[in-house]
């Protein structure tokens, strides 16, 4: 997808960089809510160590509802769970004596959801720096700008103005919500440090835009600990110096800060002033390329599923060709009701660039789900080779399609994830080669 097709995209590059920081809100808890919709609005803790026989553990994620009871990340799990009100768990045969909604960490499942989010980010930006499973920076300077557009008049008669950069940030947020189903907070700013502060400014599910001329004004009233790079210890040290806010930090003598904190003092001074010239640099290359699309409602219509697979396969193959990438594995994802994530893949004997083969293999893999009620479909290519000088010949790959149609043996059955509360499952099947939604680290 070219940048010009995205909402909030201008043709002229603006005078300032446009950087987005995307931060998934209470990510592990949000993932659990995909398989258990009844957890929406409820206090949820995800962690380790509360299982039978375990005596040591900590909170990995606490939903905002859980935080209202004094629960926070890294808190001892037994203490955290005890702070939550009791809930009924008929699925466990209990009648209210279980404390809170506790779920053990399921990293494989969370990585599969993160991969979907990151595919959207890579689709919407030419440069992406993935910081963690739930956080990334995007440089979208070539996709949009700080140019302002006038929106239609509001009920009061006043016309709203917004930047093209805001439109792109909103588009990315809405795509994540619509296609993946988890909330994200997005900060839009002219540099990385300010974008990070902006994404934290209106959590959860927020969008904060800081235009180039408003950076110092935005940062000035914030407590020093909200400046990127200032932790609790450093904030305490700054307060000992009489510095409470980012504005006061920016007004401080930079030499005094350097004497106290070394080169780090200069860095803090610069960030509080809104100065950050770091470039958004990727961490390695993507291990796969994919496209996914949801139906408006779960469907059993075989022709509708085949048509969607056809479009997705064409989009994935086109993206691979635009990046000069060859691939050795072709696969699909089918999300069946209520939220069972199934993956199927076929590995070839060598790297190829062949849109027709992508569609043919994907449609063959889809046959397994012809009778299933499907909510979402996806097509993925992996085992990538970058910058190939020549395209591989398709000769000899007819056998790949034949292999797809072979009857799987018992050994072909993939690992299954089952959530004990509602029986939702996630299944992965690799008949040959490797394919999974967790194949994403750059």
What count of Cα atoms within 13 Å lies in the side-chain half-sphere of residue 70?
Answer: 8
pTM of the model: 0.63
In a domain, 279, yes or no: no
| Omega before 338 within 30 of 0, i.e. cis | yes
Q: Is residue 145 part of a domain?
A: yes
Asked whether residue 159 carries a pLDDT value surpassing 70, the answer given is no
Share of the chain above pLDDT 70, in %: 76
Give the mean pLDDT of 414-423.
Answer: 30
Q: What is the DSSP letter of 230?
A: -
Catalytic residue among 13, 42, 135, 368: 135
- Minimal CA–CA distance to 341: which of 418, 431, 434, 441? 418
| Shared-domain flag, residues 180 and 67 | no
- For the chain, how many structural domains are there in total? 3
Q: Does residue 192 share a domain with residue 70?
A: no
Domain extent for 351: 288-430
Cβ contact 287:440 at 8 Å: yes
Q: Tell me which residue of 204, 181, 205 sits closest to 33, measured CA to CA.
A: 181
pLDDT confidence of residue 332 = 95
223/322 same-domain check:
no
135 is catalytic: yes
Position 389 pLDDT exceeds 50: no
pLDDT tens string 182-226: 999 999 999 999 999 999 999 999 999 999 999 999 999 999 999
186: Cβ–Cβ under 8 A, 6 or more apart, which residues? 20, 21, 22, 23, 169, 170, 172, 173, 199, 206, 207, 208
Q: Is residue 193 part of a domain?
A: yes
Say if 95 falls within a structural domain.
Answer: yes
Token couple for 241: 């110096």
The secondary structure of residue 91, as a DSSP letter, is: G
The CATH number of residue 17's host domain is 3.30.70.270
Mean pLDDT over each residue of the chain, to the nearest integer: 80
pLDDT tens figures, 125-152: 989 999 999 999 999 998 888 988 866 6
The DSSP output letter for 13 is: P
Tell me what pLDDT residue 393 has.
Answer: 36
Instruction: Give the domain CATH number at 88.
Output: 3.40.1170.60
pLDDT in tens, 227-280: 988 888 899 999 999 999 999 999 999 888 988 888 888 889 999 999 998 889
Same domain for 247 and 153: yes
**381 and 407 inside one domain:** yes
Domain assignment of residue 280, yes or no: no
Residue 424 phi/psi, 5-degree rounding, is -65, 145
Domain boundary among 242, 272, 302: 272
**Please, are residues 375 and 412 in contact by the beta-carbon 8 Å criterion?**
no
Long-range CB contacts (within 8 A, 24+) of 292-297: 292/116, 292/119, 292/179, 292/333, 292/376, 292/377, 292/378, 292/379, 293/179, 293/376, 293/377, 293/378, 294/178, 294/179, 294/335, 294/375, 294/376, 295/374, 295/375, 295/376, 295/377, 297/375
Tokens of 219: 């940062």
Give the model confidence (pLDDT) of 321-345 as tens digits: 888 899 999 999 998 887 687 889 9
Residues 100 and 140 in one domain: no
Q: Is residue 283 part of a domain?
A: no
| Look-up of token digits 């934290």 | 200
More confident residue, 57 or 442: 57
| pLDDT confidence of residue 421 | 28
* pLDDT, tens digit (0-9, with 9 covering 90-100), for 6-64: 554 443 333 489 999 999 999 999 999 999 998 999 999 998 876 665 656 889 999 99
In this structure, the answer to whether residues 147 and 15 fall within a common structural domain is yes
| Domain end position, chosen among 90, 105, 120 | 105
Between CA 359 and CA 350 the distance in angstroms is: 17
* CATH at residue 365: 3.30.1490.100
Give the confidence band of 155 by pLDDT, cuts at 50, 70, 90: low
């Amino acid at each position: 997808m070219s940048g010009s097709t995205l909402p909030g995209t201008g043709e002229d590059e603006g005078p300032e960089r446009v950087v987005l920081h995307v931060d998934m809100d209470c990510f592990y808890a949000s993932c659990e809510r995909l398989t258990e919709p009844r957890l929406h609005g409820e206090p949820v803790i995800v962690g380790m160590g509360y299982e039978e026989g375990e005596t040591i553990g900590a909170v990995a994620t606490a939903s905002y509802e859980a935080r209202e009871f004094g629960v926070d990340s890294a808190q001892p799990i037994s203490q955290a769970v005890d702070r939550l009100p009791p809930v009924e768990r008929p699925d466990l045969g209990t009648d209210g004596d279980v404390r809170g909604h506790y779920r053990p960490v399921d990293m494989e499942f969370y990585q599969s959801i993160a991969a979907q989010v990151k595919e959207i980010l890579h689709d919407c930006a030419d440069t992406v720096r993935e910081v963690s499973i739930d956080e990334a920076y995007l440089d979208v300077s070539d996709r949009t700008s700080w140019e302002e557009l006038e929106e239609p008049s509001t009920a009061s008669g006043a016309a709203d103005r917004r930047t093209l950069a805001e439109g792109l940030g909103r588009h990315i947020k809405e795509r994540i919500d619509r296609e993946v189903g988890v909330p994200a907070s997005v900060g839009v700013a002219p540099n990385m440090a300010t974008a990070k502060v902006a994404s934290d400014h209106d959590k959860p599910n927020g969008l904060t835009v800081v235009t180039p001329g408003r950076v110092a004004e935005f940062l000035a009233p914030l407590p020093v600990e909200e400046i990127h790079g200032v932790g609790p210890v450093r904030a305490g040290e700054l307060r000992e110096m009489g510095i409470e806010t980012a504005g006061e930090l920016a007004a401080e003598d930079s030499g005094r800060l350097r004497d106290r904190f070394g080169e780090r003092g200069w860095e803090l001074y610069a960030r509080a002033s809104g100065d950050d010239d770091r470039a958004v640099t990727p961490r390695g290359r993507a291990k796969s390329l994919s496209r996914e699309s949801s139906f408006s409602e779960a469907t059993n219509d075989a022709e509708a599923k085949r048509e969607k697979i056809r479009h997705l396969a064409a989009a994935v193959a086109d993206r691979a060709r635009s990046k000069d990438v060859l691939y050795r594995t072709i696969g699909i994802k089918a999300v069946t009701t209520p939220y069972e994530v199934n993956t199927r893949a076929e590995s070839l004997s060598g790297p190829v660039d062949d849109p027709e083969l992508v569609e043919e293999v994907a449609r063959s893999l889809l046959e397994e789900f012809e009778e299933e009620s499907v909510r979402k479909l996806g097509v993925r290519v992996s085992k990538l080779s970058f910058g190939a000088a020549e395209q591989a010949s398709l000769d000899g790959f007819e056998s790949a399609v034949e292999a797809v149609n072979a009857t799987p043996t018992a050994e072909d059955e993939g690992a299954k994830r089952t959530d004990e509360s509602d029986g939702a499952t996630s299944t992965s099947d690799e008949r040959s080669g490797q394919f999974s939604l967790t194949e994403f680290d750059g």
